[in-house]
Amino acid sequence: MHILVTNDDGVTAPGLLALATEMRKLGKVTVLAPDRNWSASGHVKTLERPLRVKETFLADGSPAFTSDGAPSDCVALCLLGYLGEKIDFVVSGINPYANLGHDVTYSGTVTAAMEATIDNIPALAFSLDSKEGQVGPLDYAPAASVARRITERVLAEGLPKGVLLNVNIPYLPADEIKGVKITRQGLRVYRDRLDRRLDPRGKPYFWIGGDSPTGVDEPDTDFGVMLAGYVSITPLQLDLTAYQSMDGLRKWAW
Amino acid sequence: MHILVTNDDGVTAPGLLALATEMRKLGKVTVLAPDRNWSASGHVKTLERPLRVKETFLADGSPAFTSDGAPSDCVALCLLGYLGEKIDFVVSGINPYANLGHDVTYSGTVTAAMEATIDNIPALAFSLDSKEGQVGPLDYAPAASVARRITERVLAEGLPKGVLLNVNIPYLPADEIKGVKITRQGLRVYRDRLDRRLDPRGKPYFWIGGDSPTGVDEPDTDFGVMLAGYVSITPLQLDLTAYQSMDGLRKWAW
């Protein structure tokens, strides 16, 4: 079992090391992760420039690779043969912040897993629901342990074809996590505001600012079960067709 | 009716001008498009750096705005108030190449429309199925005319909530386009290969290369109807939940 571990926060992120450490209990692990943060960078296939890959080390001294591509590029590099050996399974994370609702289309953590799914390699995305403004380093140990147990389950049962799992883990001590729930993708509520500033030369620039996103609290969704203290596992697939609209649209006078 | 026109090829792309020109027949048009090509760049929300917006002109002398953000950032800038006036409708394109099957998660053309959909603004993505290696400039006129007629229909009927339309138009003279079909998202077949090269200093770099993607020819899909000479309209929504897998996953011994 050869497991590729990647993320969207970059190869130095502590969540990556925590995940890689737990995955080593399940098989051979290769780490190939971006050389910088790609949060909210979407599903990328870098075609207009070539990619570099460098050898590096994680904070525990273990070898890793890093690339100037996006998370999905890191997965593509490996699935297209960069390593010279087959990848059986892809895990992405652990992202420090939750990826809920519409976040999944933006999230580098989730789109790395999508890249594997498109190539029929089973993939899991792991995110931790820490809050912004947390003081001190995050404790990834409980979430990494949850990630390992979920991965073990998936390795034993096998994922349905074309499905990836988007896993969100409450930021709680292990004994306060209430369990695991299979959820549907909920509704995010973004609270972005445009923050217009002037540079030292008096010219405007614009931050996408505002408050952190919240969501609609429904009991069967990723957002709802996280609020209630459960691990949320949302099976995702890549067919975005709005089937329920097709008949109606066919009646229009095109 | 205030229509925002954007794209993923950049503000100088002829497909953008062709689309803006036709949209002016339907309402007030504002163009805000990226200052460079963002093809296959995914659904981006740029949070780690601020965005700049500049005034520029299209090749017909009409005013436009351009930003150093992604296509979805260009939409976000306008929906968050950059223009100081409301946007009623967003169109993206015309992309020179088709966006079919799994392309929709990568496509800047489609993800620009997604950004509007998340904000409950109706949005359409338009792509032309020209072939790579085409000699001379593309003729966008037939596709732009199709795009206007489809937009008129959508303005008259109203899109279902949460649904965007991914429109792919065959690269054919207007009188050879057979009509319009409502389709489901098909299956792309990517034929990427890793192309390893050495730089002048003997160090390796990697292109994601290979052949252009093809697809599985099924008669009710975006890919299938395009092959048959029809305009493909695929309604897309942003709930990626694999509902058909939920019951099975709930039975696992989590």
Contact between residue B122 and residue B89 where contact means Cβ atoms under 8 Å apart: yes
- Closest to A77 (Cβ–Cβ): which among B42, B43, B206? B206
State residue A190's pLDDT score: 95
- Closest to A185 (Cβ–Cβ): which among B114, B179, B241? B241
State residue A134's pLDDT score: 78
User: Could you report the per-residue pLDDT of A181-226, keeping only the tens digit for each?
Assistant: 999 999 999 999 999 999 999 999 999 999 999 999 999 999 999 9
Chain B residue numbers touching A55 (CB-CB < 8 A) = none
Average pLDDT score, chain B: 96
Assess whether pLDDT exceeds 80 at residue B132.
no
Assess whether pLDDT exceeds 90 at residue B135.
no
State residue B187's pLDDT score: 95
Give percent above pLDDT 70 in chain A.
Answer: 100
Domain B2-187+217-250 indexed as CATH 3.40.1210.10: yes
Q: To which H or E segment does residue A174 belong?
A: none
Residue of B nearest to A180 (CA): B254
Q: Count Cα neighbours of B82 within 13 Å in the Cβ-side half-sphere.
A: 27
Chain B residue numbers touching A250 (CB-CB < 8 A) = 182
CB of B189 less than 8 A from some CB of A:
no
State residue B24's pLDDT score: 98
* Contact between chains at A43 and B106 (C-beta distance less than 8 A): yes
**Measured between alpha carbons, how far is A160 from B248 in angstroms, rounded to an integer?**
9
| E-assigned strand segments in chain A | 2-6, 28-34, 53-57, 63-67, 89-95, 123-129, 164-170, 180-182, 188-198, 204-215, 231-236
Regarding beta strands A204-215 and A164-170, do their DSSP bridges make them parallel or antiparallel, or are they unpaired?
unpaired
Q: At A206, phi and psi to the nearest 5?
A: -130, 120
CB of B104 less than 8 A from some CB of A:
yes
State residue A132's pLDDT score: 76
With tokens 């005013």, the residue in question is B63
- For chain A, the farthest-separated pair of C-alpha atoms sits apart, in whole angstroms, at 65
Domain-by-domain residue ranges, chain A? 2-187+216-250
| E-assigned strand segments in B130-248 | 164-170, 180-182, 188-198, 204-215, 231-236
State residue A39's pLDDT score: 86
Q: Considering the domain A2-187+216-250, what is its CATH architecture? A: 3-Layer(aba) Sandwich (3.40)
Taking a contact as any Cβ pair under 8 Å apart, which residues of chain A between 146 and 175 contact chain B? 150, 153, 157, 160, 162-163
User: Could you report the per-residue pLDDT of B80-101, keeping only the tens digit for each?
Assistant: 999 999 999 999 999 999 999 9
- Closest to A241 (Cβ–Cβ): which among B50, B72, B235? B235
With tokens 């020819």, the residue in question is B217
- Intervals of chain A under pLDDT 70: none
State residue A171's pLDDT score: 96
Regarding beta strands A89-95 and A188-198, do their DSSP bridges make them parallel or antiparallel, or are they unpaired?
unpaired
CB of B73 less than 8 A from some CB of A:
yes
**Measured between alpha carbons, how far is B3 from A248 in angstroms, rounded to an integer?**
24
CB of B185 less than 8 A from some CB of A:
yes
* ipTM for the predicted complex: 0.95
DSSP state of B171: S
CB of B54 less than 8 A from some CB of A:
no
DSSP state of A176: G
Distances (CA, A) of B134 to A235, B17, B59, B130, B233: 41, 19, 22, 7, 24
Average pLDDT over residues B93-111: 96
Q: How many CB atoms lie within 10 A of CB B8?
A: 32
State residue A150's pLDDT score: 98
Contact between residue A224 and residue A183 where contact means Cβ atoms under 8 Å apart: yes
Distances (CA, A) of B231 to B8, B117, B143, B169, B177: 21, 22, 9, 5, 7
State residue B41's pLDDT score: 87
- Closest to A235 (Cβ–Cβ): which among B45, B193, B246? B246
- B53 is written with which tokens? 């917006």
Chain B residue numbers touching A163 (CB-CB < 8 A) = 242, 245
State residue B136's pLDDT score: 84
User: Could you report the per-residue pLDDT of B144-186, keeping only the tens digit for each?
Assistant: 999 999 999 999 999 999 999 999 999 999 999 999 999 999 9
Name every residue whose Cβ is closer than 8 Å to that of residue B33 and which is 6 or more positions away in sequence: B5, B6, B7, B10, B11, B13, B16, B64, B65, B66, B67, B71, B74
* Contact between chains at B205 and A51 (C-beta distance less than 8 A): yes
Name the minimum distance, in Å, from the CA of B187 to any CA of chain A.
9
Q: How confident is the model at residue B192 (pLDDT cuts 50, 70, 90)?
A: very high
User: Could you report the per-residue pLDDT of B30-83, keeping only the tens digit for each?
Assistant: 999 999 999 888 999 999 999 999 999 999 999 999 999 999 999 999 999 999
Distances (CA, A) of A44 to A40, A249, B11, B99: 11, 31, 20, 14
- Closest to B105 (Cβ–Cβ): which among A43, A73, A248? A43
Select from A67, A76, A68 the least CA-distant residue to A115.
Answer: A76
Give percent above pLDDT 70 in chain B.
Answer: 100
Name every residue whose Cβ is closer than 8 Å to that of residue A226 and which is 6 or more positions away in sequence: A98, A100, A129, A168, A170, A232
Regarding beta strands A231-236 and A164-170, do their DSSP bridges make them parallel or antiparallel, or are they unpaired?
antiparallel
| E-assigned strand segments in B58-140 | 63-67, 89-95, 123-129
